[in-house]
Amino acid sequence: MALKRKIAYIDLTTGEIQVKPIPVEIRKQFLGGRGLDAYLLYNHTKKGVDPLSPDNVLLISAGLLAATCASATTRTHVMAKSALTGLLGSTNMGGFFAPELAWAGFHHLVIRGKAEKPSYLFIHDGEIEIRDAGNLWGRSTTETQWAIREELRDPEVKCLVIGPAGEKLVRFANVMTGIKDSGGRTGMGCIMGSKNLKAVAARGTMDIGIAHPEEALEFNKRFIDQIASSKVNQTQGTLGTPFIWGATNSWGGVRARNFQYNQCEFADDIEPERLDEIATETMGPHHMAGCFGCQVHCRARYKLPSGPYAGKYDEGPEYTTLGAFGAMPDCRNAETVLTCNYLVNQYGMDNLETGAMISWAMELYELGILTREQTDGIDLRFGNDEALVEMVSRICGRKGWLGDTLADGGIPASEKIGRNSFDYLVQVKGMNNLHSDERATPALALNVATASRGSDHLRSRPAIDLYHLPEEVLRKIYSSPVPYDGPLSSDHTVYEGKPWQVFWQENCYMAVDCLGICKYHTVFLGPTHPNFEDWAKVIRYNTGLEFTPKDIWDVAVRCNTIERMFNLREGLTRSDLKKGDMLNHRYFDEPCRRGAPGVVGRYIDKEKFIRMVDELYEHKGLDKEGVPKPETLKKQGLESEPSHRL
């Protein structure tokens, strides 16, 4: 059954491989996926380890429910000390790899050391091989996956791979599976590259075994009906995640020209409806696809309609792509956005970080902080589509002074460029902000500042705060599975009550990351989507483990705390602009300049923001500096960590 999936410890330096079961008591404390990875990272890395050294541990996992009868349990998690931030490195992706890893007998891989030459792992039905990848080095992410399938003579092999960016140690290189499923954030592809690990391939035919199969199937039918009937998922099934960008841009909630504006004007060519037309024209009316076990089908398939890569197949673009290569560099051409999407997918780079770095450089260039000599003659102004595409390739290949500089990430690049360049870098904990603008939404600003892996919309974002739901509806959502009688407001511009919403969402997202469930099947964009009560049933029917909704909440709180403990050990402090829970000064000093009447002129009140952080810390059991209190650690059973129990 699912609980019989193993953990493997793999030393690439020595070639030693050790396989162990995962004790049930560990499951009860951390479930699996991201939560158990956080425990393993804290226990198997030493304080201050160089992210690119062989001693940094790379963790790859499937959630507890991967490959079971639970809907959309497809997420793969990758964790290590980040090459980009020096703090928690963590990324999550959909696709088909996690179920294959589970069918192959494993839920967690703990990888340390460095292979003497380019290598890849092949995991199949309880066996693990370290194989030569010399013929794969230098290949794109797609080429690598097809080459491995041909070598293994099995088209059903699923792979996690890096592209040329990971090989060249671009600090925000990502991990890819399939055409576009990417673990983009925090540079996990760079960690794989530092270990000479080109790929992890999985093929499994082992039975999972379901504890209560009839109940599991019946409950999943209701689960699917709940997901498929929601308007937000029906919209995603038609337009994909770009619909979120279109809606957000319309009222003025996106970053444009780095952070100068909060709305991208005259952007008809990159609106979701236009992108849907291109996908329909190139792939036909049935161009939407989905991940394993998912009914939403939120990704488009398309061929580039024109330009130097005309006819190339790709998938997406996603919500983040439109910001990274559209609004932020002010390039409002569909061909440009789709081309950049294709390139980062093939090179294996985080689209968000890539677009943000180039857009930041564009602002520096227009301000005269970057010179034409430093750009190697490139006219790096906003709206220059050719310059944008060229810089994507230069960063991947570390070509030229600027390409090499930007490939190291924002903070190192700002230190190299100097001249107040850091002031224009919109980042938290060394990771660039999402392309959204949170100056009109205090709850979302708090989420961005305090997320565990750096600026983030997938760790604690209360996106439903923008829906203006009645207070009684909010009360129903945010008072379960633990009671809450504090303030709540349907007004997204107020500060009161927002820390609890961020805290609740943080635990919600951690729970599903432990289980391996997609966030689009949770209270992320859909207030009626599955919740803690549903997950307790899903766990019982599929694994036989008995959890109450409150038990799952407690697991999530514990896992979030241990991520905090790791960050604190590696240098996080509350107010530090480079390693803290703090926003770039532009949130406080520069009001929004475009958008709806309720958006124009908005900025984050710094005093109120600081009070929000104080309140969030109280909910999390932290002291004023953001450190877990002794009684918090004891209550959560973390007072003896690292315990090295697994």
Same domain for 53 and 199, yes or no, is yes
246 found inside a domain: no
527: domain CATH number is: 1.10.599.10
614-623 pLDDT tens trace = 999 999 999 9
The answer to whether 230 and 24 are in contact (CB under 8 A) is no
pLDDT digits (tens, 9 = 90+) for 360-415: 999 999 999 999 999 999 999 999 999 999 999 999 999 999 999 999 999 999 99
* 111 and 14 together in one domain: yes
Tens digits of residue pLDDT in 59-108:
999 999 999 999 999 999 999 999 999 999 999 999 999 999 999 999 99
**What's the mean pLDDT in 167-191?**
97
Would residue 241 count as lying in a domain?
no
Are 530 and 486 found together in one domain? yes
pLDDT tens per residue, range 428-466: 999 999 999 999 999 999 999 999 999 999 999 999 999
pLDDT at 359 over 80: yes
Within-domain flag for 563: yes
Secondary structure class of 398 (helix, strand, coil) = coil
Given the DSSP bridges, would you call strands 58-62 and 106-112 parallel, antiparallel or unpaired? antiparallel
Last residue of a domain, one of 403, 432, 461: 432
Region at 316 (left for phi over 0; alpha for psi -120 to 50; beta for the rest)? left
Query: In which band, very low, low, confident or very high, does the pLDDT at 225 lie, cut at 50, 70 and 90?
Result: confident
Domain edge (last residue) among 432, 465, 500 = 432
What domain range includes position 291? 251-432
Q: Does the pLDDT at position 223 exceed 90?
A: no
Q: Identify whether residues 420 and 360 lie together within a single domain.
A: yes
- pLDDT, tens digit (0-9, with 9 covering 90-100), for 509-556: 999 999 999 999 999 988 989 999 999 999 999 999 999 999 999 999
- Is 644 domain-assigned? no
Q: Using alpha carbons, list the distances in angstroms from residue 247 to 154, 181, 221, 271, 595.
A: 42, 23, 30, 9, 12
Given this model, what pLDDT does residue 358 score? Answer: 98
Tell me what the mean pLDDT of segment 129-142 comes to.
Answer: 98
Q: Are residues 367 and 291 in the same domain?
A: yes
Residues 394 and 449 in one domain: no
Give the pLDDT score at 181. Answer: 96
Residue 448's pLDDT is: 97
In a domain, 115, yes or no: yes
Domain boundary among 432, 466, 487: 432
Q: What is the pLDDT of residue 208?
A: 93
Answer whether residue 2 shows pLDDT above 90: no
Residue 639 has pLDDT above 90, yes or no: yes
- Please give the average per-residue pLDDT across 218-224, as a whole number: 90
Phi and psi dihedrals of 524, rounded to 5?
-110, -65
424 with 453, same domain: the answer is no
Residue-level pLDDT at 275: 95
Q: What is the CATH number of the domain that holds 277?
A: 1.10.569.10
Query: Using 50, 70 and 90 to split pLDDT, how confident is the model at 224?
Result: confident
Residue 353 falls inside a structural domain: yes
Tell me if 205 sits within 8 A of 105, measured CB to CB: no
Domain count of the fold of the chain: 3
Same domain, 39 and 141: yes
**pLDDT (tens digit, 9 = 90+) per residue, 10-62?**
999 999 999 999 999 999 999 999 999 999 999 999 999 999 999 999 999 99
Mind listing the pLDDT tens digit for each residue in 200-218?
Answer: 999 999 999 999 999 999 9
Tokens of 381: 């102004």
Is a pLDDT exceeding 80 seen at residue 1?
A: no
The confidence score (pLDDT) of residue 231 equals: 87
Residue 321 banded pLDDT, cuts 50, 70, 90: very high
Average pLDDT over residues 147-159: 98
Starting at the edge strand that comes first in sequence, how are the strands of the sheet with 288-289 ordered? 288-289, 299-303, 313-315
Mean per-residue pLDDT for 227-252?
Answer: 90
* Cα–Cα distance for residue pair 42/88, rounded to 1 Å: 10
Strands (E), 191-338: 197-203, 288-289, 299-303, 313-315
Strand ranges, E, within 35-124: 58-62, 76-81, 88-93, 106-112, 119-124
Rounded distance between C-alpha atoms, residue 166 and residue 173, angstroms: 5
Of the candidates 469, 182, 495, the one whose C-alpha atom is nearest the C-alpha of residue 321 is: 182
Q: Is residue 224 a part of any domain in this protein?
A: no
232 within domain boundaries? no
- Residues 350, 329, single domain; the answer is yes
Q: What is the percentage of the chain residues whose pLDDT exceeds 70? A: 100
Amino acid 328 reads M
Give me the chain's average pLDDT, please.
96
State whether 372 and 490 are in the same domain. no
Answer yes or no: do 497 and 557 share one domain: yes
> What CATH number has the domain bearing residue 20?
3.60.9.10
Do residues 418 and 448 share a domain? no
Predicted confidence (pLDDT) per residue in 487-521, tens digit = 999 999 999 999 999 999 999 999 999 999 999 99
Question: How high is the pLDDT of residue 43?
Answer: 98
**145-160 mean pLDDT:** 98
Q: What is the pLDDT of residue 236?
A: 86
